[in-house]
Structure 1
Amino acid sequence: MAVPGCAGTPPQGPAPRGPRRVPVSLWAVPPVAALALAFLYPLALVVQQSFTPDEGGTSLAPYTEVFASESFRSALTTTVWLALGSTTGCLVLGFVLALVIAFVPFPGARAVARFIDVFLSFPSFLITLALLFVYGTVGMANGVWTGVTGASDGPFHFLTTPWGVLLAEITYFTPFVMRPLLAAFSQLDTAQLEVASSLGARPARIVRRVILPEALPALAAGGSLVLVMCLNEFGIVLFTGAKGVTTLPMLVYSKAILESDYPAACVVAVVNIVISVGLYGLYRVVSRRAGA
């Protein structure tokens, strides 16, 4: 048997090395670079433009002028109350509809649940256009009314008011609340419902004491998503043609496209971004403290 190091034993070279492993941190470079190029850089340009008045230089004058204008304060108020009203309506309507689909047996419940998934892919202007066909000035409802009564005009003109925008947003965003609720209801132990029912609890009490506590995280997630999306909604307000309803996204559009006042448009856009990011941060803090 040959002993290493003795005569006649061939020298052994270094052990072959395996392929070098790329550090995990390097895999984050391509997506971060793409994000910076496609989103962060244009966002930085918007912020920079908001501090650059038409006369040149860097100044807070665009912020001072926008914050002092009545149009901005009115748009901010309209945006907030429409977002809060739409979110409240979506939470109530979405919870009721999700309860019916999940716990009330009826033919086609599974098909309705699948339709909700398809509904989420629809663009917002499509739902608004459908409402216009039904409740518009020359829509089906007014056409039936004039055909029956012989009147020259129908009574349905609310789509061009803030209530029409509210109806369109609730109609479009309710499935965004129902989807997480249906997922939460599918994981609910039905034995709890059977025990509560056997103990004599009425359906309202079962919903309040058993189902609602399990649905609160899903309600919070869906409600926060709807709130942020309503704050930034543009297509619904534009397609309803509601007169006197100017939200922050509509104000950005009017300042940039109609008035060519790009510094003011960037100021409004920055305010809208700050509100959205602030709400998202608040939701993260609250959900983390609640253990959701």
Structure 2
Amino acid sequence: MTSVKAPLARLAARPGAVLFPAFGLILLVPLAAAFIPIFDGGAVGNLKRAFSDPRFLRSFGYGVSQAAASAALAAVVGLPGAFLLAKRRFPGKRILSALSAVPFCVPPLIIAIGFVLYYGREGFLNRTLQSAFGFSEPPIRFLYSFAGVVMAHGFYNFPVVMRLVGDAWASAPKRHEDAARLLGASEARVFMTVTLPSILPALGAALSLVFLMCFYSFVIVLLFGGPGVGTPEVELYRAARFEFDRPLASSFALVETLVAMLALAAYGAFERRTVGDRRDAERSVPSRFRNGGEVFASFLYGAFIVVCFVGPLASIFVESITIRTAARSAGGFGWGNYASLFARKGFGAAIVNTILLGLSSAALAAATGFALSVGLKRTRSGIVSRLLPLLPLGVSSVVLAYGWNAAIGRPSVLAIAMVQAVSAYPFALRAIQSSVGLSDERYAEAARSLGSSRLGATLRVRLPMAAPSIASGFALAFAMSAGDANAMIAAPVSGFETLALLLFRLAGAYRLDEACAAAVILALATGSIFFLKDARDGLS
């Protein structure tokens, strides 16, 4: 009996010894199941067949090119905002900073609906331009094309560039900049020789992350890609769901995962340089605008963001309170769309399912994030400390959902929860790791010296000290899970519908009035959770 209790006691003393393998399983099992069908009839033959299929290489060319173009657009739009956040003090700065939450708390499907309402042929912007300038045809027609996908991705993800580069810019070596000015360097030369090299690693990390997010984009490409156009993610979905060609679907899964791992390696390299550059940096104090030119340029930038980015989001709310007549013309404003949505059969169940699924995936992501944070602080392996936090970023939720479907033989709610936990885990880990990494180990060691076990020291010392950060990681994971529809679309569970999936189905049925009402409710729920998390982080 003693021989059985001893290993159990050791496992209880090291929760990471249980959580790490468990989390590895929920990542590796679906990956293996997603790749195994390649070997049905011979891996080489299946890969040759995949590469000989014209849409295979076309989808990868499209996926890589749109992701690269989207990342470039996100950088062009985000860099001026990064400068303003880092270097200038002005009214509305908090609002600009708050936009950085959009890619994490506003589901991409909501952005897609906003673009349709705002930039579509019958959208608000086209109607305004036709009314103002007398155009007979809508002047903006880019939406259902490569340019439409790039625009949606670029504007959706520019806050990522703005936040990551802004943080690095605020920590740029001000003493070096001042020294260069004293030596007679112009502002342009100071930027090119001192400032730019200091923010390049952060810019590289932001571009790599945006590239990954756009390469794995699913809903936006599904809606705006046009007929016969798709990224590997979309083609995997079509091959598995409609053609039942599992070897082809697995070929898409394998090759797209390899491409993503290359982008992930680039992100990891840039991120390490960014962290290293910030260790001894001191944050500069933002100043007021120096001249009227800066004020005017900032005003133009703000107007551009309002028109091109805030406009689509605002159009969703306006449409949600617009009462349409039978001829689809506006018949006034009211809350009828919300009333129809609330009266819809299954709406209450969708809300409950969203909460339960979000709580499950967030609990798993936060628990693993805490255990891994403690483990990473004590590990001496550089490979482990670099690989484990980033690995899930290189795997798409559609691949994982397809893998679980293949492994279990049918879609499963538990599998969806695990997929969403894996997707949210890197971001939850970042929120938790900052607290655990800075905590003083002397308190835990003091508890150990007073007779506490390793588990007791973790539960009584490390866990309470990290509790606020764990709550932040939990909230972030919950918000991401509540807004995620990718896994649910790729592997729908019969009789189980979340608010995000309901939104997708309403939009697909062209019931945009109710879809917009659902989008507002979903955005308010996920956004409120995220902003409460940010407010708590700011207070702490």
**TM-score of the superposed pair, with normalisation by structure 1:** 0.80
Of residues 265-274 and 253-262 in structure 1, the stretch that sits farther from structure 2 once superposed is 253-262
Distance 1:276 1:59, change over 3 A: closer
Q: Confirm or deny: 8 A CA contact 2:78 2:161 kept in the other structure.
A: yes
For the structure 1 residues 150 and 109, does the alpha-carbon distance in structure 2 shift closer, same or farther, using more than 3 Å as the test?
Answer: closer
Q: 1:35-94 CA distances to partner (integer Å, 9 max, x unpaired)?
A: 233221111111111222xxxx54433212111111111111111111111122222332
SS at match of 1:159: coil
Aligned partners of 1:25, 1:208: CA distance in 2, in Å? 53
Look up the equivalent residue of 2:206 and give its one-letter code: G
CA distance in 2, matches of 1:25, 1:195: 53
Aligned partner of 2:200: which letter? L
| Contact 1:181 1:215 (C-alpha < 8 Å) held by counterparts | yes
TM-score (norm 2): 0.45
CA distance 1:44–1:24, shift in 2 (3 Å): same
Provide the residue aligned with 1:69 in structure 2. 53
Q: Is contact 2:201-2:273 (8 Å) kept?
A: no
Match of 1:276 in 2: 260
Partner of 1:249: 233
Q: What CA distance in whole angstroms lies between the structure 1 residues aligned with 2:266 and 2:128?
A: 48
- Counterpart among 151, 155, 168 of residue 167 in structure 1: 151
Does the aligned pair in 2 maintain the 1:51–1:59 contact within 8 Å?
yes
The change in CA–CA distance for 1:142 and 1:286 in structure 2 (over 3 A counts) is closer
**Residues in 1 aligned to 2:96 and 2:119: alpha-carbon distance in whole angstroms:** 24
Identity %: 30
Say whether residues 1:230 and 2:214 are aligned partners. yes
Partner of residue 30, structure 1: 18
8 A Cα contact 2:205 2:270, kept in partner: no
Is the contact made by 1:256 and 1:265 (CA closer than 8 Å) also made in structure 2? yes
Q: Which whole-Å CA distance do the structure 2 matches of 1:282 and 1:118 have between them?
A: 24
* Gapped regions of structure 1 (runs ≥ 5): 1-19
Provide the C-alpha distance between the structure 2 equivalents of 1:150 and 1:174, rounded to a whole number of angstroms: 33
1:139–1:289 CA distance, 2 compared to 1 (3 A)? closer
Q: Does the 8 A contact of 2:86 with 2:167 survive in 1?
A: no
C-alpha change, 1:24 and 1:276, in structure 2 (3 Å) is farther
Cα 1:133–1:271, aligned 2, differ >3 Å: closer, same or farther?
same
CA separation of 1:165 and 1:24: change in aligned 2, threshold 3 A: same
The structure whose Rg is larger is 1
Quote the Cα distance in structure 1 between the aligned partners of 2:250 and 2:215. Answer: 16
Q: Find out whether 1:88 has 2:72 as its counterpart.
A: yes
Structure 2, gaps ≥5 residues long: 1-7, 278-540
Aligned to 1:40: 28
* Counterparts of 2:253 and 2:213, CA distance in 1: 15
- Residue identity opposite 2:29 in structure 1: Y
CA-CA distance at 1:215 after TM superposition = 0.7
1-structure distance, mates of 2:273, 2:82? 27
Per the alignment, residue 194 of structure 2 pairs with 210
Equivalent residues, number: 269
Between 183-192 and 70-79, the greater mean CA deviation after superposition: 183-192
**Pairing partner for 2:124 from 113, 133, 140:** 140
The alignment yields a C-alpha RMSD, in angstroms, of 2.8
Q: Is the 8 A contact 1:159 1:242 kept in 2?
A: no
For the 8 Å contact 1:162–1:245, the answer to whether it is kept is no
CA contact (8 A) 1:255 1:262 kept: yes
Q: Secondary structure at the match of 1:160?
A: coil
Counterpart check, 1:117 vs 2:105:
no
Query: Comparing 221-230 with 161-170, which one deviates more in the overlay?
Result: 221-230
- 2:81–2:166 Cα contact (<8 Å) kept: no
Question: Following the alignment from structure 2 to structure 1, what is the Cα–Cα distance between the partners of residues 64 and 87?
Answer: 34
* Distance in 2, Cα, partners of 1:209 & 1:289: 18
Q: Please state whether the residue corresponding to 1:215 is helix, strand or coil.
A: helix
Structure 2 SS opposite 1:220? helix
Which deviates the most, 87-96 or 211-220? Answer: 87-96
Report Cα offsets for 1:207-261 as digits up to 9, x if no partner.
Answer: 2222212211211211111122222111211232533431111111111122221
Secondary structure in 1 matching 2:212: helix
- AA aligned to 1:28 is G
For residue 115 of structure 1, report the CA deviation from its aligned partner.
3.2
Which of 26-35 and 214-223 deviates more? 26-35
Q: Work out the CA distance in 2 between the residues paired with 1:231 and 1:100.
A: 28
